[in-house]
Chains A and B, each alone.
Chain A
Amino acid sequence: MSLRGLRLTGTTLAAVGLLLMLTVYGLSFFWVPTEVAQGVIQRIFYVHVPAAWVAFMAFGLVALTSAMYLWLRDERLDRAALSAAEGGMVFATVVITTGPLWARVAWGTYWTWEPRLTLTLLLWFVYLGYFLVRGSAENPERGKRFAAVVGIVGALDIPLIHLSVLWFRSLHPKPVVAKPEGPTLPAPMLITLLLGLLAFTLVFLGLFLLRYTLQTLRDAADARDRRATV
C-alpha cells in the first residue's frame, strides 16, 4: 500500500474508532445498568479494560515485529515496532492512571503493591526503557537491535499480568470475560465492553498506521539529508 493509502486508511480508522469511543461513553452512562456491588465507579471498567487490551496487543505487536526485525533486518519491521510501542505506551498510561482512580473508591487506596498492579507498572517501565535504549545508543542500528530485544523481553510480562490473578492472591477480580465457561457479564455490560474493545482497537490501528507513515517519511528525510552532506 502507498503512503497516501496508509494515511487515508489510518485517518478513517482513527475517526471511526473515536466516534465509536464517544458512543461507548454514551452507552456506559445512559444504557448500562449500575453495578450493584461497586456502584457508579465500576463504569471505569469500560475504558480501563479496553485500554489494557489495546496496550497488551500493541506490546505483543512490538515483540512480534521486533523478533522479525532481528531475523530479517527489514527496516519496515523496526518502524512497525516503534509505532506500536508508542501506541502501547499511550494506552498503558491510560491503564495505570484510570486503575488507581477506580481503586481509590473500590479498595480505599490509589495504589497497592499487589501482583497485577506491580507487573503492569513493570511493563510500563520496560517499554519506557525501549525508547531510552533506542535513543541513547550512539550507533542507531545498534540502538534498534537493543530496543528490539527489550521489546521482546517486555512482552513476556503480558501473560504474567493476565495469569497473576489466578496464580497469586490478588485484589483484582478473577476474569469475567476471558474464561473457559464464557463471559458472565449481563448483556448490556458485555455489549458495551465489546464495543469499547472495538473502538479502542480501531483508534490504535488507525493511529498506528499514521505513526508508521510518519516514521517512513522521517527515515526518507534523514536519508536525503545524509546524501546531501556526503
Chain B
Amino acid sequence: MTIKSKLILSLIFFGIIALVVAVTLIVTLRQVNELDARDTTADKLLAEARDLSQLSNGYIFFHEKRHVVQWESKYNSMASLLAQLRVDQRQQEILIDNLAENQKLLKTIFNDVKATVEKSPLSTQHGGTLEFLQLSWSRLSVQTLGMILDASQLADLIRQERRAVEYHAVILIIAIIGVLIVFILVNYLFIYWRVLRSVATLREGTKIIGSGNLDYRIEEISRDEIGDLARAFNQMNVNLATVLASKEDLDREVAARRRTEDELRTTLADLERSNKELEQFAYVASHDLQEPLRMVSSYTQLLAERYENQLDEKAKKFINYAVDGAVRMQQLIHDLLVFSRVTTRGAAFETADSQAALGMAVANLGEAIHESGTVVTNDELPRIIADQTQLAQVFQNLISNAIKFRGRGQPRIHVSVEEEDRHWLFSVKDNGIGIDSRHKDKIFVIFQRLHTREEYPGTGIGLALCQRIIQRHGGEIWFNSKPGEGSSFYFTLPKRTEEGNGDEP
C-alpha cells in the first residue's frame, strides 16, 4: 500500500471518528434535554399531588366551594401531564400507570365526599355523615400520599436515568478519543519506522551505485513510493550500464578509427615520400641516363666524321643505327619524364579558358598545320576549372595525332563541347585514317604504337599523356572510329568549384 493511500485512509478514519463523536454528542444532548423535560414534569406531578392532598383536606374540613374548583383544575392539569409524559423504562411506566389509576380512584372518593357535603352542609351534619367524612379523609390521605410517593419515585428514576445517560456519553467519548490517540500513535510510528528504514536502504544503495558499482540492485524494500523510487533507481542503473556499454563500444570504435586514421596518415606519408623518390628518379633519369647516351651518340658521330675516309658504306650505316638508337632512347626518356610530371608537376585547378588552351595548342602546332594544310574549327569553348597548360597539352596531342594520321583529302579537325549535368564533354573529330576498334584498349597505353616508325614517327606517348591528364582531372577519355572514316576523341572534365582544387585524384 502506498504512503499516499495510507494517509488518505487515516484521514477517512479520523473523519469517521469525528462523525461518531459528533453524533454521540448530539444524541446524548437530545437525550439529556428530553430527560430534563421529564424531570421537570415529574417535579410538577409531585407538587400537584401534594396540592391535591391539601385541597382534599381543606374541602373536607371547610367545605368551601373554591377548594372544589381548585381541586378539579389541579386534577385536570395533573391528568394532562400524565398523558403527556413518555418514558422508556418499564418501572417508570408502571409508576405512571399507578399514578393514573390512583388519580381516578382519588376522584371517585373526592366525588363521593363532594356529593355528601352538598347534601348536608356543615351545620346539619349528623353522626353518620361525620363518620363517612372521617373515613373519606383517611382514604383521601392514603391515596394522595401514595401518589406523592409514586411521583417522587418517578422523579428520582428520571434523574437517575439522566445521570446514567450523561455518564455513558462521557465514557464513550473518552473511549473514542483514547482509541484515536492509540491509532494515531501506532500509525505514525509504523509509517515513521517503515519510511526511515526504506530511506536508509535507499541511501546505502545510492551510495554503492554512486561509487561506480552499476551491477548493484537495491533490494525490494516496500510497495510504496519509496519502493517505486528504489525500482526507478535500479532501472536507472540498468539504463546507465547500457549507456556505459554503448559508450565503451563507441570508444572502441573511435580508437579503431583513430588507428585507421594513423595508418592512413602513415600511408599518405609513404606515398608522399615515394612520390618524391619518383620525382628524384625522374630527375636522375633525365640527367644521368642521358649522359652515357650522349657519349655513345657523340663519339660514334665523331668517329664517322673524323674517319670518314677510312669507313665503308656498311660501317657508316651501322654508325647511323647506333646514333638513331641513342636519339630515340633520349626521346623516350624525355617522354617518360613528361608523362611522370603530369601528376607531380601539375598546376592547381583554377579558372581556365579552354578556348585559350586550344589556341595555345594550335599555335604550337602552327608549322605542322600549315604544312599539311589542315583546317581546325571549333565551337565556342567555355571557361572551366582545370589546369589550362595540361588542357592545352591534351588538345595539342589530339590535334597532332589527327594531322599525323590524316587521310588523302584535306585534313579537317573540329573541336566541340557539350555541357552535361556534372561535366563538360569535349570532342575532337577528324577525317583521318581512323582506328580499328580492336585497338581501343591498346591505344592509351604508354609507348604502344599501332604503326611502324617508318610509317608514322613518334614514341607513342601522346594518348597515354592525354589519358593521364584527363584522369588527373577526374574525367574520362575514349574514342569512336571506323578505319577510313575518321576518328572522334571524347573526353570529359568534371565541373568543379574553385574551392574543389584540392581533390586531385
A binds B: no
**Chain A residues proximal to chain B, CB less than 8 Å:** none
Q: Which residues of B are interface residues toward A (Cβ below 8 A)?
A: none
